[in-house]
Structure 1
Amino acid sequence: MSSPPGVLRQKSQLSAWSQFGIRMGLLLVLLAFIIAVHWIERDSFRDNLDGEMSFADIIYFTMISATTTGYGDIVPVTERARLFDALVVTPIRIFFILILAGTAYTFVIKRTWNNWLMQRLQKTLTGHIIVAGFGNSGSEAVGELIQRGFDPRRMVVIDQSNPALERAEALGCMVMQADATRDSTMEAVRVSEARAVIVSAGRDDTSILICLTARHLASAVPISVVVRAGDNEFPAKAAGATTVINPVSFAGLLLAGSTEGAGIADYMADLASASGRVRLHEREIEPFEVGKALKDAAVGVGLRILRGTQSIGWWEPEAVRLEAGDRIIEIIPDHLFPRVPTV
């Protein structure tokens, strides 16, 4: 039996003082409501001291009855007033205690609030990016996505380290402290509705297991996995990864490229970074582009056509005619790069 997932949460846009003000404001509104009803029904109360019910007496009686059971100097004398105090004031008095009393009550409220907030956030989870692991690679990926214009509120970070989650939450991401290898965790973050999944758990075996979990729950979602051992690239592919990235291999490519000229490594880094002058862009062709050559359809410089499982270079004969369903890879200037939608 799988263990329940953690709580999905997002950094509140309200400061601690703002949240305190909201609570105090709610208490004042409830007190004002009771005072108004008591004042309207003041003939239903009797002051045992002077027989007169002034506005000050109403305020006094409201404060006493809302926080204690009263002293008996002012009492309701009609059935309607007694029912109001029993059915309305008494529950409000309990609510006051829950807000102002000790940590036991606070824990109950916080847990209920977190469950409600998690359900509310889950309803909005569609087209989001799930990041399993917020170590060096995961945090770099999130930072790069934010630079590219992706709304951090549409990213869910899963990690078991609370300091890592605090860093992700500070960026505006939704976070969950849980085990990403569990079905219940991936179901809680609605992996089947995700735009993409990024897996960088720090250990290859854990990353591959997370990939397996995500893939069997979401057969069509793109999954990118970071592995550090070259012989784990095939198992990651077999586990359902759409893209397998080996940082060591990529660093080796940059190093090898730099021996042919320093500009090659710089240009490769330029292509990969959101801060670069050019970007690599993959997209499905538009209907009006069917029949055109790759070089005529590309916004910038067309490099490759992805046709099913076939990869066609710009120099090959098939690149002179695009077909419906083709995807192309192109290099375009940064200012023309389509920003990621935030809705």
Structure 2
Amino acid sequence: MIKTSRYETAAMRATSMVALPDRVRSPWWELGRRLLAALAILVATVLLVYFDRSGYRDGNDPVNNYAVDFKDAIYYTTVTLSTTGYGDIAPVAPGARMVNAFVITPFRIAFLVLLIGTTLEVLASQGREMFRVARWRRNMGKRVVVVGYGTKGRSAVETLINNGQDKGSIVIVDPNPGAKNDAHEDGLTIITGDATRRQVLRQAGVADADQVIITTDRDDSNVLATLTVRQLNPDAWIVASVREHENVPLMRQSGANSVITSSDAVGRLLGLSSMSPVLGSVMEDLLTYGEGLEVAERDLLVNEVGKQPQQLPDQVIAVARDEKVYRYFDPVVTQLARGDRLIVVRPAKELPWAPRPGTHGEDASDED
């Protein structure tokens, strides 16, 4: 059973929001609607001219005493609304002229704006957007999908970008309109929708994603999103956060490869800072990108094969070998071997007295 905190339960009870879905229509539907409106203006103008035909004069029809009939009304309407204006049929009565000035002229303006301006805008903007989406899907490389763009989601994305991840390969999924504005300001693509729905995740490209990060504020939503992602992509690496430690086993059973307990992590950092301010500041330094110290993973270099972890310039804290992680003091990794990957503590920025091996294009031990 998924457990939630009493604060979350209270918030769920106190909040009642109605969010109506936006209507999504195709460009052809929009074009058809505008054509019907233009046709309505055309018909109304024809009838207006025909019923007041005695006030008009056809200069090219002396046989019928220059009278205007229904066909002449259609002809006059089309050339008038299209601003062609041949001048062969013209209003001669004062009433007809006033109708042309105050009724047919606004009709003409509305007809042109509706039929030409709006139609071009619909085809251009929506067609251009469809082309951009199609091109984005074709050019997507190593895709990372981040579910939730709150504080945790933004921090995760910032860390990815600072470590070399291309913004164009990051896709955000969040139903909050505020998250959409934040993501666009950060130059990121966002799918506005509920990540527990298959269609939303498919639109985000989860089936082809290499990594999925799930960071919503509700554990039940995280579990359901993890289950859905795992069904759509059995090979994706899923990292999920939970608020309550009791939900960690359930999250792992749902398919998450790595689970981070946000409340426990914050609580430990607060406890360390209270017991030892120095230790707390060091831990915060390790979690902050760009200054002081950082925790990183790198390849074992060719010239480091056969050495002990303690002999390397970096402070090695763990070694990944054969998909298992060993602490640096474990007898299994007394000597480093080809293919090992190192978890190190190193300077966030290289200094003359503090080198950063593995960041200068050196040959890795697993390369041929």
Aligned-residue RMSD, C-alpha: 3.3
Out of 314, 324, 327, which is 1:300 matched to? 314
Q: Relative to 1, partners in 2 of residues 1:242 and 1:293: Cα closer, same or farther, differing over 3 Å? A: same
Task: State the shift of 1:289 in Å.
Answer: 4.4
Does residue 201 in structure 1 map to residue 224 in structure 2? no
Question: Which residue does 1:116 correspond to in 2?
Answer: 131
**Which secondary structure does the structure 2 equivalent of 1:291 belong to?**
coil
Question: Which residue does 2:194 correspond to in 1?
Answer: 179
Question: Which residue does 2:349 correspond to in 1?
Answer: 335
Q: Which amino acid aligns with 2:132?
A: L
Q: Deviations over 1:1-32 (max 9, x none)?
A: xxxxx99xxxxxxxxxxxxxxxxxxxxxxxxx
**Which secondary structure does the structure 2 equivalent of 1:335 belong to?**
coil
Q: For 1:102-141, what aligned pairs fall within 5 Å after superposition?
A: 106-107=121-122, 109-141=124-156
Question: Which residue does 2:277 correspond to in 1?
Answer: 262
Unpaired stretches in structure 1, ≥5 consecutive residues: 1-5, 8-64, 74-93
Question: Which residue does 2:268 correspond to in 1?
Answer: 253
Worse overlay, 252-261 or 169-178: 252-261
Does residue 100 in structure 1 map to residue 117 in structure 2? yes
CA distance in 2, matches of 1:210, 1:126: 23
CA distance in 1, matches of 2:303, 2:115: 63
Q: Which amino acid aligns with 1:162?
A: P
CA distance in 2, matches of 1:228, 1:237: 14
CA distance in 1, matches of 2:219, 2:322: 29
Q: Which amino acid aligns with 2:254?
A: A
Q: Deviations over 1:271-300 (max 9, x none)?
A: 11113311101234356644333234x552
Unpaired stretches in structure 2, ≥5 consecutive residues: 1-22, 25-78, 88-110, 351-355, 360-368
CA contact (8 A) 2:173 2:204 kept: no
Q: Deviations over 1:223-281 (max 9, x none)?
A: 21111011111111112212211111101221232244211111111111113311101
Question: Which residue does 2:366 correspond to in 1?
Answer: none
Q: Which structure's CA Rg is the greater one?
A: 2
Does residue 219 in structure 1 map to residue 241 in structure 2? no
CA distance in 2, matches of 1:220, 1:327: 21
**Which secondary structure does the structure 1 equivalent of 2:234 belong to?**
coil
TM-score normalised by length of structure 1:
0.64
Q: Which amino acid aligns with 2:318?
A: R
**Which secondary structure does the structure 2 equivalent of 1:240 belong to?**
coil
Task: State the shift of 1:209 in Å.
Answer: 1.4
Does residue 234 in structure 1 map to residue 249 in structure 2? yes
CA contact (8 A) 1:137 1:200 kept: yes
**Which secondary structure does the structure 1 equivalent of 2:256 belong to?**
coil
By relative contact order (CA 8 Å, sep 6+), the higher-ranking structure is 1
CA distance in 1, matches of 2:285, 2:210: 25
Question: Which residue does 1:80 correspond to in 2?
Answer: none
Question: Which residue does 2:291 correspond to in 1?
Answer: 276
Task: State the shift of 1:333 in Å.
Answer: 0.8
Out of 175, 186, 195, which is 1:160 matched to? 175
Identity %: 26
Q: Which amino acid aligns with 1:252?
A: G
Does residue 311 in structure 1 map to residue 319 in structure 2? no
Q: Relative to 1, partners in 2 of residues 1:220 and 1:322: Cα closer, same or farther, differing over 3 Å? A: farther
Q: Relative to 1, partners in 2 of residues 1:247 and 1:123: Cα closer, same or farther, differing over 3 Å? A: same
CA distance in 1, matches of 2:238, 2:338: 25
Q: Deviations over 1:91-129 (max 9, x none)?
A: xxx99976613xx76455544333322211111222132
Q: Which amino acid aligns with 1:122?
A: R
CA distance in 1, matches of 2:301, 2:225: 34
Q: For 1:59-70, what aligned pairs fall within 5 Å after superposition?
A: 68=82, 70=84
Q: Which amino acid aligns with 2:244?
A: A
CA distance in 2, matches of 1:310, 1:174: 35
Q: Which amino acid aligns with 2:82?
A: T
**Which secondary structure does the structure 2 equivalent of 1:172 belong to?**
coil
Q: Deviations over 1:128-173 (max 9, x none)?
A: 3211111221123223444445443332111111111111110101
Q: Which amino acid aligns with 1:278?
A: L
CA contact (8 A) 1:125 1:190 kept: no
